[in-house]
Amino acid sequence: MPDVVKTGVDGLDSILNGGIVRDATVLVSGNPGTGKSIFGIQYLYEGVTEFDERGVYISFEENAEDIRQAAESVGFDRWEELVESGDIKVYDKRRMLREQDFTSAVDGLLEDFSSDEYDRLVLDSLTMFQLFFDDEREKRTYLLKFSDVLKQYGLTSLLINEQGAMFPETEIGLENFLTDGNIYFIQTPTDSGVNRYIWVAKMRKQDINTDIFPLEIGEGGITVYEQAGGFSMMGKNESPF
Ligand SMILES: Nc1ncnc2c1ncn2[C@@H]1O[C@H](COP(=O)(O)OP(=O)(O)OP(=O)(O)O)[C@@H](O)[C@H]1O
Ligand SMILES: [Mg+2]
């Protein structure tokens, strides 16, 4: 069995047959408000508090204060303390957008990771990151280089991907193929709010469960109900999509 990194979401780790393969780069896709950022925050928070692994959070979407508030909204009360101690390093929107030359900003940041101090990385979001490139070819080349460097530095990474299409429609881009894993966060409207689901569509080197499972967001972050019995799009259980 390969060496795995536990996400800290128990139900998800069961679906993943233990966790994410170490040094893998995983694409996390979903519509707005599906829980992608909370998942990233939880991955880093549990990383430090449960598994003694330090992490990096790069955000083009939010500033450090927003991220802290999101963490505290689900009860990760030690977030700020961990940021201050350096166990979680946050490169926020303000910091990332300050540099004029974007690639040199990223190169500088990658240099910070070469020190072997960090095990986990979250990029929120890859979609925004890609906006810095003018042409498709440049974007692809950089993405390849970037994911290579992450592996080389021993980082197990979540790349967050904003998905415009509503499930079961999915936009499949080069990033889906280039990454080692693809996880989707899904929500469907109901009379009283939303139903939330998670789907692991691929994880190289792991024997995963590819059914779709219910999840909830609340105190303690994300809970995946893998015992509830998943369903497949083709299966006997009725699909809500
Ligand atoms: N304490 C909480 N209890 C219940 N639900 C919560 C709580 N905190 C946040 N949420 C839910 O989590 C969702 C936000 O998740 P998150 O910010 O991770 O989404 P996202 O996928 O990153 O969205 P975006 O693409 O807009 O950045 C909110 O829509 C909210 O409904
Ligand atoms: Mg987000």
Q: How confident is the model at residue 53 (pLDDT cuts 50, 70, 90)?
A: very high
Task: Say if ligand 1 is within 6 A of residue 34 CB.
Answer: yes
Closest ligand 1 atom to 73 CA: 1
**Signed CA dihedral, 214, 218, 158, 118: sign only:** negative
Q: Tell me if 214 sits within 8 A of 197, measured CB to CB.
A: yes
Q: Between 198 and 98, whose confidence is greater?
A: 198
Residue 111 CB burial class (10 angstroms; 0-12, 13-18, ≥19): exposed
Residue 44 sits at the vertex; the CA angle it makes with 121 and 76, to the nearest 5 degrees, is 150
Give tens-digit pLDDT for 135-158: 889 888 888 989 999 999 999 999
217 lines ligand 1 (CB under 6 A): yes
Per domain, the residue ranges of the chain are: 4-228
Q: pTM for this one? A: 0.95
Phi, psi of 96 (to 5 degrees): -70, -35
Residue 104 clears pLDDT 80, i.e. is over it: no
The CATH code that applies to domain 4-228 is: 3.40.50.300
Taking residues 208-226, report their average pLDDT. 96
Q: How many angstroms separate the CA atoms of 25 and 47, rounded?
A: 16
| Whole-number Å distance between alpha carbons of 94 and 110 | 17
Whose C-alpha lies nearest to ligand 1, atom 25? 32
Q: From atom 26 of ligand 1, which residue's Cα is the shortest distance away?
A: 32
Whether the CB of 162 sits within 6 Å of ligand 1: yes
Residue pLDDT, tens place only, 184-202:
999 999 999 999 999 999 9
Query: How far apart are alpha carbons 49 and 64 in whole angstroms?
Result: 20
Task: For residue 104, count other CB atoms closer than 10 A to its CB.
Answer: 10
Q: Which atom of ligand 1 is nearest to the CA of 34?
A: 21
Q: Residue 118 in 3-state DSSP? A: coil
| C-alpha 100 – ligand 1 centre gap (Å) | 31
Q: Closest ligand 1 atom to the C-alpha of 160? A: 22
Q: Using CA atoms, how far apart are residues 196 and 214, in angstroms rounded to an integer?
A: 6
- Burial (CB count within 10 angstroms: exposed 0-12, middle 13-18, buried 19+), residue 92: buried
State the distance from the centre of ligand 2 to the C-alpha of 60, rounded, in angstroms. 10
